Structure 1
Amino acid sequence: MKNLIWLKKTVLILVLASFTVACSDDDEVSAQGTTITDLAIASPALSNLVAALTAADGDLPAVLKGAGPYTVLAPTNAAFETFLDGRALEDIPSEVLTQVLLNHVLNGKVEAADLTGLNADGIFYASTLATGAKANTQMSIYFETEGGVEFNGYSNVVDPNIQASNGVIHVVDAVIDLPTVVDFALADDRFSTLVSALTADDSFGYVAALQTANGTNPAPFTVFAPTNDAFAALLVDLEVTGLISIPIPTLQTVLELHVVPGTNVLSSELAGLDGQAVPSLGGSNITIQASPAGIIGPGNDTTLNPIVIADVQASNGVIHALSRVIR
């Protein structure tokens, strides 16, 4: 647990440090005294964003006039048209639209170069102002900067580093909807083998189940997601050449061990669950270990499956990445 806490503190320090990095003169495209809201109102290309901010919560434009600093991922008008898909803003419940818009706001000032630096340090997630599946949690957002900045696997920055007096705007080409645990697995290439395993047989139905909205049985979920390296090690242990060589019943049993339905367990709560056995999706119990943080599988094998990435918070659950496959 100490290692996990140290990891989280280190990530926080790095993120906070990145917020203080000043931009170059070449990046400054607006007057220093103009707020994020002022810039959005003044830009015809962001008129749909302004309309959405007003329709969702009348306080949001005022919030983005505040001291901040904030980082706003501002969808273009075309991005909103695609998102609405023929609907009017009034067709979307105000509380839902509010959360979607808050999912485009980060606390602090984060420029494109800062995100690139964080990726270089192995950090691929930040937190938005939207609320996750658990009360008082912030939604995670995945970012990847190879070939340009991209959020959650599909929303690309098309105009970065627009400077405001209270932060920075990055214009993006797609509205970033509230992500499920499946969305994060699809976005993060480190889980590509897991996605292949989940979709190896149509009868599994895991993808559809893990997209269940929060509050609807069996959501929320705590997902212990093996990385690609974890699956590669499993194949070596089993002396097989690929997932296709693992019998479907065996693969299904293994996958079910990695999902705990009906709960959203954060890393900060692991200490209180140390040594406890909890039922997985398939019914078999897995045991939580707090320090070092990880999961012990069922049966006589007491090998620890360590947590290496903690608290990827989605709208319907949370993901903790494992460096070993539970079995």
Structure 2
Amino acid sequence: MKKVLVKFSALVLFAGTVLVSCSDDDNNNNTQQQQTIAQIASGNPNFSTLVAALNRTGLTNTLNGSGQFTVFAPTNDAFQTFFNSLGQNQNVNTVDINVLRNTLLNHVIATEIPSSAIPASTYVNTLSPISTANNAPTISMFVQKSGSTVTLNGGVDSKGAVVTTADLDASNGVIHVVNRVIQIPTIVDHVIDNPSFDTLQAVVTSTSGAFGDQSAVLTALNGITAAAPATLFAPNNQAFTDATTGTGFAVGATAAQVTKVLQYHVTTAGNVRSNQLQNNQSIPTITSPVQNLTAILGGGNVDIRDSANNLARVFQADIQASNGVIHGVNRVLRPQL
């Protein structure tokens, strides 16, 4: 009987040990938490410069907290290339802190976007504000996807980047590793980066041929500053085809007339976003003498009426740049030539 009791006690002890061990394993599994974006970056030596930049600018807590973010994370080599472009002796500790902070925010989207959800092309809003004003608009990013390749703001041939490793999942979003620091785009940069505006780019950069020398217009666009921003109504490629072929109004236009057409798409009335436009609002352009456009609102659409009473539909509103905003339109606006 004593032997039976001893064996029974040993069996109970063994069973209890197993149950406790299993319970501990379950507790460990339940309490193990997924890392945040900031924690993943801190644990990867390829992101040491990114971590230092986040710490210096006070953004670590943002990417370590609640919410859902998409972070396009430059590697150390990408940051070094960026610092080299700024001049000698520039590094994460010496670059202007405001430039560094706004540049970092230009890599962050306030929602989680896995690579599988990225369409062929789209614009997204970053967290980088155009000014220090409350509720200031934020910089737009142009995202393209071809196969599994994701390109941002035109890629390395422009001022953008390419995703090299996608979908590092975090508890508060996702990280996509990129091979360059994504610089904050100007109006001209956004035109260059979007293939839908290739013809506009070709016309503005023309120095001879069918469109003549338009270098003065390009100089004017490049001279637009954040302190005195402008708004560009940008015709897409099909709009230029319609205007310059067949019975299009710009067929046979002289260089001077092309200049006036281009100027008629720019207003220095400020950074005029679509929600600031009012129905029948007059919009002065930079033609000389000044010619006006008219905003026509209705049915949830924004149209721009030109001097010939033609309406151009805004198909892509509020492409935000550092020095102004672009609204894509489906017709070349016709001034009085």
Q: Bin the TM-score by the shorter chain.
A: 0.7 to 0.9
Q: 1:210: Cα distance to partner?
A: 2.3
Equivalent of 1:110 in 109, 113, 128: 113
2:139 is aligned to 139
1:170 is aligned to 176
Contact kept, 8 Å, 1:287 with 1:295, in 2: the verdict is yes
Alignment of 1:31-70 (within 5 A): 33-55=34-56, 57-58=57-58, 60-70=59-69
Contact kept, 8 Å, 1:185 with 1:191, in 2: the verdict is yes
Does structure 1 residue 101 correspond to structure 2 residue 104?
yes
Does structure 1 residue 209 correspond to structure 2 residue 225?
no
Which sits farther off after the overlay, 42-51 or 197-206? 197-206
Does structure 1 residue 303 correspond to structure 2 residue 303?
no
Hey, what's the Cα distance between the residues in 1 that align with 2:262 and 2:131?
A: 22
State the TM-score, normalizing by the size of structure 2.
Answer: 0.78
1:136-155 alpha-carbon deviations (Å, 9 max, x no partner) = 21211100001410100110
Does structure 1 residue 268 correspond to structure 2 residue 275?
yes
Hey, what's the Cα distance between the residues in 2 that align with 1:132 and 1:284?
A: 28
Hey, what's the Cα distance between the residues in 1 that align with 2:172 and 2:214?
A: 51
2:124 is aligned to 126
* RMSD between superposed Cα atoms in Å: 2.1
1:16 is aligned to none
Alignment of 1:203-242 (within 5 A): 204-212=215-223, 214-216=225-227, 219-238=228-247
1:5 is aligned to none
Hey, what's the Cα distance between the residues in 2 that align with 1:324 and 1:187?
A: 20
Q: 1:262: Cα distance to partner?
A: 4.1
Hey, what's the Cα distance between the residues in 1 that align with 2:232 and 2:152?
A: 21
Hey, what's the Cα distance between the residues in 2 that align with 1:134 and 1:255?
A: 31
**Identity of matched residues, %:** 36
Equivalent of 1:181 in 187, 194, 199: 187
Hey, what's the Cα distance between the residues in 2 that align with 1:100 and 1:214?
A: 17
1:249 is aligned to 256
1:20 is aligned to none
Contact kept, 8 Å, 2:70 with 2:113, in 1: the verdict is yes
In the superposition, relative to structure 1, how do residues 32 and 179 fare at CA in structure 2: closer, same or farther (>3 Å)? farther
In the superposition, relative to structure 1, how do residues 159 and 309 fare at CA in structure 2: closer, same or farther (>3 Å)? same
1:208-260 alpha-carbon deviations (Å, 9 max, x no partner) = 432346444xx3011100000110111225469x98x5421111110000010
Contact kept, 8 Å, 2:226 with 2:324, in 1: the verdict is no
1:36-85 alpha-carbon deviations (Å, 9 max, x no partner) = 11111111111111111122x12x01110011211100001111011001
Q: 1:91: Cα distance to partner?
A: 3.5
In the superposition, relative to structure 1, how do residues 151 and 206 fare at CA in structure 2: closer, same or farther (>3 Å)? same
Q: Secondary structure at the match of 2:118?
A: helix
Aligned letter for 2:95? I
For structure 1, list consecutive stretches of 5 or more residues without a partner in the other structure. 1-30
Q: 1:206: Cα distance to partner?
A: 2.9
Contact kept, 8 Å, 1:41 with 1:50, in 2: the verdict is yes
Q: 1:267: Cα distance to partner?
A: 0.9
Q: Secondary structure at the match of 2:166?
A: strand
Higher relative contact order (CA 8 A, sep 6+): 1
1:320 is aligned to 327
Poorly superposed stretches of 4+, deviation over 6 Å: none
Hey, what's the Cα distance between the residues in 1 that align with 2:268 and 2:316?
A: 20
Q: Secondary structure at the match of 2:64?
A: coil
